[in-house]
Amino acid sequence: MNQILIEQRIYVTKEMKRKKKFYKTLYIISMITLIVLILYYIIAEKNRNDSEGLSREIMQQINNDNTTVEERKIVIALNDRTEDPNVTPIEVPINEVDEQQTNETTTSSFTASNGQSYTTEATLSYPKLGISYPVLSEENEELLKISLCKYWGPSPNEVGNYCIVGHNYKSGKMFGKLSMANIGDQIELKDFSGRTVIYRVYNKYVVEPTDVSCTSQKTNGQREITLITCTDYGKRRLVVRAREL
């Protein structure tokens, strides 16, 4: 049997060599880019975890703080002209005095493992969403990486609109689960004067970054809190509002 062997020769042109080199380079660049993105994500997530770990340290210190808040009293003399030693001044609990006279910020400073001290004025708990963080008394980019921050308003649990901001992390940390808030949910705000006030969510909506109407202090004499975070990849703001029960 005769067998005919046919030899096929592939002629490699300069154009084919150029394309081969181009695709090889493109592949290498794509792989390097992918690796860099993965490393960036890992490092960023680690930094977020480390920063949030500081808020956990603060929360632990708050929970372990056994300091009791003494009931402040004022002394009222029955007659400021009398010198009768038998007349005893009356001690009246300060919470029975006009509330406007006691509207002062009570804060506590806690030192974390990084050696930095953080001034905190309340703790926020949203049981349904598993949100539990200290509320730092100031707001800036660095502090927002660590915990929730006060954005605007009166002292915590005072009449007015106490506004809190926090990052919206995909991992669910900070206000990452705030989009799952529903009307009727309960939120607890504990301040450092010993009060814990329960609020009920009554509104939830999205606004443009330039719309700050949610920080209005017109609450008709009621206590309210407003939770604010980013949404739509940072293009808009999610607002959740709650009123004292």
| Per-residue tens of pLDDT for the chain, all 245 residues | 555 554 555 666 777 777 778 888 888 888 888 777 776 666 666 666 666 778 888 888 888 865 444 434 333 333 333 344 443 433 434 343 334 334 455 888 888 888 888 999 999 999 999 999 999 999 999 999 999 999 999 999 999 999 999 999 988 899 999 999 999 999 999 999 889 999 999 999 999 999 999 999 999 999 999 999 999 988 999 999 999 99
Tell me the Cα Rg of the chain.
Answer: 30
170: helix, strand or coil = coil
- Residue 50 is predicted with a pLDDT of 63
pLDDT of residue 91: 40
State the Cα–Cα distance between residues 59 and 114, nearest whole angstrom. 15
Q: What is the DSSP letter of 230?
A: E
| Rounded Cα distance, 106 and 191, in Å | 8
What backbone torsions phi and psi does residue 86 show, to the nearest 5 degrees? -80, -10
- For 241, phi then psi, to 5°, come to -115, 140
pTM greater than the 0.85 cutoff? no
Q: CA dihedral defined by 75, 76, 81, 87, rounded to 10 degrees?
A: -80
The β-bridge relationship of strands 186-191 and 223-231 is unpaired
CA 168/CA 187 separation, integer angstroms: 18
Q: How many helices (H) and strands (E) does the chain have?
A: 2, 11
127 secondary structure, DSSP code:
G
